[in-house]
Structure formats: C-alpha cells, structure tokens
Amino acid sequence: MKNLRILLLVPFLMAFQCDEELIVIDELDKTGIYGRWEFADEEIDNISDLLPKCCRFYEFLPDDIPEDQSGLWSYTDGFRIYEGVFTVDEVNQTLLFERENRASLTYGYSLYDTNDYLELSFVEDGLNYVQGYIRKD
C-alpha cells in the first residue's frame, strides 16, 4: 500500500515541478568592458593627435568560462583584424592582451561617462599613449 501511494504521488509531484534555469552571470559583465568600442581620440606624451579618427574598433566578448576575469577581444583598423584573449585586473586597472605567438601587452584602462567612454594607456617606444574609445553597441 505504501509503495502504491509513492507511485501515485511521484507523477503528481513531477507535474508541478518548476523548470528553473540556472542563470550564470559572467564576472566580466560587472566591469562594463563588453561591447564594441570605436577609436575617438589620442594623446602621445600629453600632446593631442588632431588627425581624423576612423575605422578603428575594439570588441570585447565573453569566453566560455564565466567565473574568470578573461574574455575574447578583436581589434580592427580598417585593413587588418587582430584577435586574442584579454584579462582584466580590476585592482590595478589593467587589461592584459594576449595573441597567439606574440608577446602579451598590458594597458591601463578606465571607464567614464556611465561606461560609455573607455580610456586605454600604454607605453610604446618610450612614448606614453592615451587613447579614447566610445561605446558603439
């Protein structure tokens, strides 16, 4: 009799069971870095570059591991596309860019204007660069 009650009760319980989807939030989503960014301005050793800006984009995308601080990046300059993996260090405000068979690069970063303006800073050939990008997604 006890077994019969269990057999009758199991389908009833299964019918009312909720299908809860497990929502996984990517850790990088909190940083505001995801999206497509268009080159807007540049300073080299505190001197503004007044040349017109065109057709240079960074795109930051999630990877398959939502628990880490890494994702995928691509950079397009109108002629070429570069791709790799990036890692965010929120404490030091840096982005580590890695490409296959290339030396990794570390850039400083800041987000402004409610995460719609991305500033990247780095040193190349002894010159200090500060580049600004506007969100385009």
Q: What is the pLDDT of residue 137?
A: 76
Q: What is the pLDDT of residue 49?
A: 80
Q: What is the pLDDT of residue 4?
A: 46
Distance CA 91, CA 17 (A): 43
| 86-116: pLDDT as tens digits | 999 999 999 999 999 999 999 999 999 888 9
Q: What is the pLDDT of residue 76?
A: 96
Rounded to the nearest integer, the mean pLDDT of the chain is 87
Q: Could you tell me the fold of the domain covering 24-135?
A: Lipocalin (2.40.128)
Q: What is the pLDDT of residue 45?
A: 96
Whole-angstrom Cα Rg for the chain = 23
Q: Which of 64, 86, 92, 55 is nearest to 73 (CA)?
A: 86
